[in-house]
Amino acid sequence: MKKLVAAVTLTMLVVASSFTPKFNSIHETKVEADIVDLAVSQDFLSTLVAAVKAGDLVDVLKGDGPFTVFAPTNEAFAQLPAGTVESLLKPENKEKLVKILTYHVVPGKVLSSDLKNGQMAKTVEGSSVKVTLKDGKAMINDATVVNADIMADNGVVHVIDKVILPSM
């Protein structure tokens, strides 16, 4: 009987350890990857990854940081007017793309528990985003944080449901 219990326990441990996080939790998730590798591993961030590559920001976001990235989903990018993403990815629009992408990055590691209602956070782009806490949800400008505190080796990612745009 003891051998059977031991075998069942071992099997359960092996099965349980084979699962990888899918970042569905609103609370801290830790991965062994930098911000770029984390984004690359998530299909729902593929448009953001393409934009980061087009903006030549891969090396920056693979750097030491720490960084806080408000990462728009593919659906968030799809909400932009037709042709916007395609236009931004063109080499002649790189400056505008970088301005938009760096508006999604705050220097330092800012966890959801650090956010305060009405707080203004200065972005790498130079402008500030406004934090609103309402009904248990955090908003960055008009984008809702749908998945918070995804920990990377060089910072933290908060997934948002809209692309936030700086003044152009």
| CATH class of the domain defined by 26-160 | mainly beta
Q: Determine what percent of the chain falls in helix, strand and coil, rounding each to the nearest 5.
A: 40, 25, 40
Q: How confident is the model at residue 31 (pLDDT cuts 50, 70, 90)?
A: low
Listed range (8-17, 83-92, 131-140) with the worst mean pLDDT: 8-17
Span 91-131, pLDDT tens digits: 999 999 999 999 999 999 999 999 999 999 999 999 999 99
| Gap between the Cα atoms of 83 and 80, Å rounded | 8
Closest CA relative to residue 154, chosen from 42, 30, 67, 45: 67
Q: Say yes or no to pLDDT of 149 above 80.
A: yes
Q: What pLDDT is stored for residue 30 in this prediction? A: 54
HEC assignment per residue over 64-127: CCCEEEEEECHHHHHCCCCCHHHHHCCHHHHHHHHHHHHCCEEECCCCHHHCCCCCEEECCCCC
- Confidence at 152, pLDDT banded by 50, 70, 90: very high
Kindly tell me if the per-residue pLDDT of 21 is higher than 70: no
pLDDT tier for residue 25 given thresholds of 50, 70 and 90: very low
Which pair of structure tokens corresponds to residue 94?
């790189």
Joined together, the tokens standing for residue 20 give 């990888």
Using a pLDDT cut of 90, give the percent of the chain over it: 77
Q: What pLDDT, on the 0 to 100 scale, is given for residue 14?
A: 31
pLDDT category at 168 given cuts 50, 70, 90 is: confident
